[in-house]
Amino acid sequence: MFSTLRVLVQIAFRNLFASRLKTAIVGGIVFFGALLVTVGGSLLGSVTGGMARSITGTLAGDVQVYGASSKDDLAIFGGFGDQNLAQIDSFETLKAVVEKVPNVARVVPMGISGALVTSGNTIDLVLEKLRNAVRKETQGDRSPALLAEIEAQKEHVRQMVQVLEGEQKNLVALVDATKLTQEDRDNAMALARAASPQFWADFDRDPLNALEFLENKIAPQSTDADMLMLRYVGTDLSAFGRSFDRFRIVDGKPVPPGKRGFLFAKYFYEDRIKLRTARRLDKIREALSVKGQTIASDPDLQRMVHENERQTREILLQLDPTSTRNMTKLLRDELGSKETDLGRLLASFFAMDDASFERRYHFFYDRLAPMLELYRIRVGDTLTIKAFTKTGYSRSINLKVYGTFEFQGLEKSPLAGSVNLMDLVSFRDLYGFLTPDNQKEVARIEQAAGERAIDRAHADDELFGGDSKADAAQAPPAPPPMPKEAMPAVSAPLEKLHRDDRAARDYDPAELEKGVVLDAAVVLRDHSKVDQAIRDIGAATKRAGLDVKAVSWQDAAGIIGKLVMTFRLVLYLAFLVIFLVALVIINNALVMATLERVREIGTLRAVGAQKTFVLGMLVVEAATLGGVFGGLGAGVGALVVALLGAQGIPATSDVMNFFFSGPRLYPSLAPATVALAIAIVLVVATLSSFYPAWLAMRVSPREAMASDE
């Protein structure tokens, strides 16, 4: 048997180049097939690895533990909207159990949620400043500085009114007068009144009344207020920083232990908080300098330039009269223009092309930006986050923005940069965790609804209060005393006071450990043994009687995690189709080659080769062809991967940064992939030789004889 095989292989090798056509077709297909599998497999492996690093190194950790009775699956990078997760009542207990599992390095408490944040429009902000100054004045402050400030703010508001009125007039000019709604007419009338000299002459007589008019009738007309969808993770911020070594603070400073605070993801901060005009300039500059695109040829860049030309209001509204004059002069000089309207000057300034861009970009940042607020929310500001709690009531909290952070290598990834951070205690407040007692109380209150006059908006506070029962029960070092909201209906100012007080309140770091969490990120010592760790953690928590489940980072990452699977599936499907086609083509080529060899096969049969020998010969020949060219293809593929690995594949879009886990992907060769590539082409080549081999087997030895019959 063995000697037959040896003879077969010997003859197969000798016949390797018997038919050039066969060799060209079969060899070519097999070569490229093996190349494809090697390169594709290695790239996929590297992307999977890159994503694994992106996901495990940023938020997820290697393993996520969350409530087993959760209605939804945990999806850390998943879509917006809250997932319905069962809470884990005591992180401390969970941590103690999980930390005992041998491979576990760290356990970080977490909760993931989202909220809408209204950043407030520019007019609101200026009016608030004006109101504060006026209030001081009415309280008796008559200092020249304050009076000057009031005048400056008034001028700024007048200017804003002018900007809005100009827009209103444009609108009226554009739209058929009959199509204007009553609201449009009311708005126009309010603007006319606010723009009139009479209004401002009367302002000082009754400033509070005038302010109310401006706040109610004018401010809403400026639609630059933005609802921000804020996705955030509440965690033990110090433990988070220690556990995810890619984490680093960019602006500002970390939230000190025991302090409540908020950290913006740098990407989110730049993308959503920054002055849009400036953000677009940044993007254009990156496209020009890094990606080598040109405004002239790229429609996307042209769109951004046009948007900058048209959307100057965001800048105009920010400027008080002095700044307006200064900016007008700067731009007139820069542009050599006699134009006096700042809006038009800005529009022509932002009409940049490839030649003027670099100069104007620097001019914007060096000369114009100092007069502007580049970020709607600055580091050091207080952010009001309003969220709906699990009981369905809204809850708001003021948090100081301590800074921004990013994950090293993923600076440009929107996915890694979409999730912001806050301290866990504030997260718990916003999320409205329920203890069993609370749950009973909710039921009781709901039953008694109507009997007690509870302002729905504050029912949550009724339930939990500033120092809710949950807090009181679980945080022994009692927080500083809070004004207990005993009043059935809390007035707005009081609620604001309550918010501010909450923001100022510190907490004992131990509180982090004791309380409720939604999930916990587990960082392993050996990242390759995730499955084992999941089994161990599952077993340990089960023994401890905890109602939790452990899932891998892939499962926890939601859609993103499933993307890895999808990539794999798509690639394998593509391979399957390609190789099915290859099978057919190779089969055809081998049938043709066999028909050309009928006389040779007949001769072999005549001189004493058995049918099985002929069958084996053809199969071994095809397999040899597959092996030789498959090996070559895999070799060249390995070379390509090595080359790519040395050069790196640049991430051409921001999203790709996440998949590549950095600006470039350096693919590395997986030996298993090479083996797989060769194995696949061997199988395909062998399978496709079965039919032609069967045909060859049936060739009669008579074919060898020159037939003169």
Partner 1 sequence: MSAIVSVRGAVKEYALGAVKVQALRGVDLEVGEGEFLSIAGPSGSGKTTLLNLIGCVDTATSGVVQVAGKDTASLSERQLTELRLNTIGFIFQSFNLVSVLSVLQNVELPLLLQRRFSGKERHDRVLDLLGRVGLADHAKHRPSELSGGQRQRVAIARALVTRPQIVLADEPTANLDSVTGENILALMRELNRTERTTFIFSTHDAKVMAHASAVVRIADGRVLGREAPAAAQAEGH
Report which of 348, 311, 285, 287 is spatially closest to residue 167, judged by C-alpha positions: 311
Nearer to partner 1, 366 or 709 (CB): 709
Tell whether residue 707 is a contact of partner 1 (CB under 8 A).
Answer: yes
- Please provide the distance, in angstroms rounded to a whole number, between the alpha carbons at the two ends of the chain: 39
Report which of 531, 230, 550, 251 is spatially closest to residue 396, judged by C-alpha positions: 230
Selected binder of partner 1 within 292, 608, 646, 671 (CB under 8 A): 608
Tell whether residue 293 is a contact of partner 1 (CB under 8 A).
Answer: no
DSSP string, 132-179: HHHHHHHTT---HHHHHHHHHHHHHHHHHHHHHHHHHHHHHHHS-GGG
Evaluate whether 86 touches 504 at the Cβ level (below 8 Å): no
Structure tokens at 529: 């043994």
Tell whether residue 439 is a contact of partner 1 (CB under 8 A).
Answer: no
Q: Candidates 387-395, 515-523, 576-584, 606-614: pick the segment binding partner 1 (CB under 8 A).
A: 606-614
Selected binder of partner 1 within 453, 492, 607, 646 (CB under 8 A): 607
Tell whether residue 599 is a contact of partner 1 (CB under 8 A).
Answer: yes
CB 669 to partner 1: min, Å: 35
Tell whether residue 611 is a contact of partner 1 (CB under 8 A).
Answer: yes
CB 29 to partner 1: min, Å: 21
Q: How far apart are CA 401 and CA 252, in angstroms?
A: 9
CB 649 to partner 1: min, Å: 43
Tell whether residue 100 is a contact of partner 1 (CB under 8 A).
Answer: no
Nearer to partner 1, 173 or 607 (CB): 607
Tell whether residue 20 is a contact of partner 1 (CB under 8 A).
Answer: no
Q: How far apart are CA 377 and CA 403, in angstroms?
A: 11
Residue 113 burial (CB count, 10 A) = 23
Tell whether residue 9 is a contact of partner 1 (CB under 8 A).
Answer: no
Return the HEC string of 299-317: HHHHHHHHHHHHCCHHHHH
CB 602 to partner 1: min, Å: 8
Q: How far apart are CA 657 and CA 51, in angstroms?
A: 9
CB 18 to partner 1: min, Å: 4
Tell whether residue 589 is a contact of partner 1 (CB under 8 A).
Answer: no
Nearer to partner 1, 1 or 227 (CB): 1
SS3 121: coil
Tell whether residue 435 is a contact of partner 1 (CB under 8 A).
Answer: no
Q: How far apart are CA 684 and CA 586, in angstroms?
A: 9
* Residue 649, CA distances (Å) to 47, 284, 665, 668 in order: 11, 22, 5, 12
Q: Candidates 9-17, 374-382, 426-434, 639-647: pick the segment binding partner 1 (CB under 8 A).
A: 9-17
Tell whether residue 705 is a contact of partner 1 (CB under 8 A).
Answer: yes
Tell whether residue 565 is a contact of partner 1 (CB under 8 A).
Answer: no
Q: Candidates 5-13, 68-76, 240-248, 321-329: pick the segment binding partner 1 (CB under 8 A).
A: 5-13
Selected binder of partner 1 within 224, 603, 636, 666 (CB under 8 A): 603
Selected binder of partner 1 within 613, 666, 690, 691 (CB under 8 A): 613
* Residue 353, CA distances (Å) to 305, 311, 372, 415 in order: 8, 17, 23, 31
Residue 363 burial (CB count, 10 A) = 17
Report which of 74, 420, 387 is spatially closest to residue 237, judged by C-alpha positions: 420
Selected binder of partner 1 within 131, 600, 632, 663 (CB under 8 A): 600
Residues that bind partner 1 (rule: CB under 8 A) add up to a total of: 31
Q: Candidates 1-9, 40-48, 212-220, 483-491: pick the segment binding partner 1 (CB under 8 A).
A: 1-9
Residue ranges binding partner 1 (CB under 8 A) = 3-4, 7, 10-11, 14-15, 17-18, 599-600, 602-611, 613, 700-702, 704-709
